[in-house]
Amino acid sequence: MTTIAGSDLSDIEALLGSLGVDAGYARRLLYWIYRRGIKSFDEINDIPAKVLHILSENYVTGLISPVMSEVSVDGSIKYLFSGSRGLNHETVWLPDGKRSTVCVSAQSGCRMGCRFCATGRNGWGGNLTAGEIVNQVVSLPHVVTHIVLMGMGEPGDNIDEVLKACRIFTAEWGLAAGRSKVTVSTVGVTPSVMRLLDETECNITLSLHSPFPEERREVIPAEARWPFAETLDLLMRYENRRKRRFTVAYVMIEGRNDTGRHLDEMKRLLSGTAIRVNLLPYHPVAGDDARSSENSVMMRFKHELVTSGISASVRKSRGGDIYAACGMLAAKTGKKPEIH
């Protein structure tokens, strides 16, 4: 059956009209789906029963609960979902005082082939729908203040569904999350970055790895087709009147991308751009002898960037005891939940 989750207001108004139902119920229906996270239309108490009956004969909410979870000693929780097509995908909830971030997946698996990423090693499943992306937020038993599309998969490789999900996240008839609370992370699929800039007001993070194209290409094959310089150019030329946050995510690996040469090139690329840098520790994957840079090295990078006028931060490691690398938990099970 067709799902409601993933639809926008105009979709639901048209749907109700096609069923001979007053389109005025569209906002209430979406409230129950996106704000209350209902699994069944029977949970709705302010729409006439005859309308709910018509809906239940033709549609399902499309929302499902996770099939598995693992809790870290630091309080973060990794959840495993599996949609109606059995596509395993992961979501991580990261509490941090008054802030709680949910990191959601855009795909089951990934086609980018980044060398340091566990997701791509587990094979390609398929694109997630906007409903499956949104479900990862509304079906969690937690308050969520920030949403980051930085889980399994490359958002730019599933841009139509990602754009739909972003509209739902920020629209007043959807989750009504502030535009500054939603971030999309990408390796820099240039046409998709252009659409994110044109069609959303969400923050954008570029996963860089190395400021040298030839080095980046060895680890992020997408560099050959979509050079990171193109994305940086788009972000630098964007007329940022709404003060969207543009960030470079830099996973630091000892001896690979944490030398003075790398630091100098980062400063050359980003000085005067207002693009911030988020330095991240590396989580090794099975069979990889690479190690994360020492904290002292990461702090030196941060200090040098900041004194050069570049906003920079070091992100602390979270969930190291619960398969922190994206894709690790999904590889453990092939369970498929019941769809309501």
Catalytic site positions: 90, 326
What is the rounded distance in angstroms from the CA atom of residue 211 to the CA atom of residue 217? 11
Sign, CA torsion 133/134/135/141: positive
The SS3 assignment for 158 reads: helix
Tell me the residue length of the chain. Answer: 340
Q: Locate tokens 């992100």: which residue? A: 315
What is the rounded distance in angstroms from the CA atom of residue 124 to the CA atom of residue 112? 10
Q: Angle, nearest 10°, between helix axes 228-237 and 190-199?
A: 20
Give the helix/strand (H/E) hosting 111.
none
Cα dihedral 54/56/59/62 (nearest 10): 150
What is the rounded distance in angstroms from the CA atom of residue 267 to the CA atom of residue 306? 10
A 10 A CB-CB count for 210 gives 22
What is the rounded distance in angstroms from the CA atom of residue 190 to the CA atom of residue 229? 10
Which is nearest to 205 in space by CA: 119, 313, 307? 313
Query: What letter would DSSP give residue 92?
Result: E
Q: Are 120 and 110 in contact (CB under 8 A)?
A: yes
What is the maximum span of the chain, computed from C-alpha positions, in angstroms? 69
Which is nearest to 94 in space by CA: 49, 150, 54? 150
Sign, CA torsion 312/318/324/327: negative
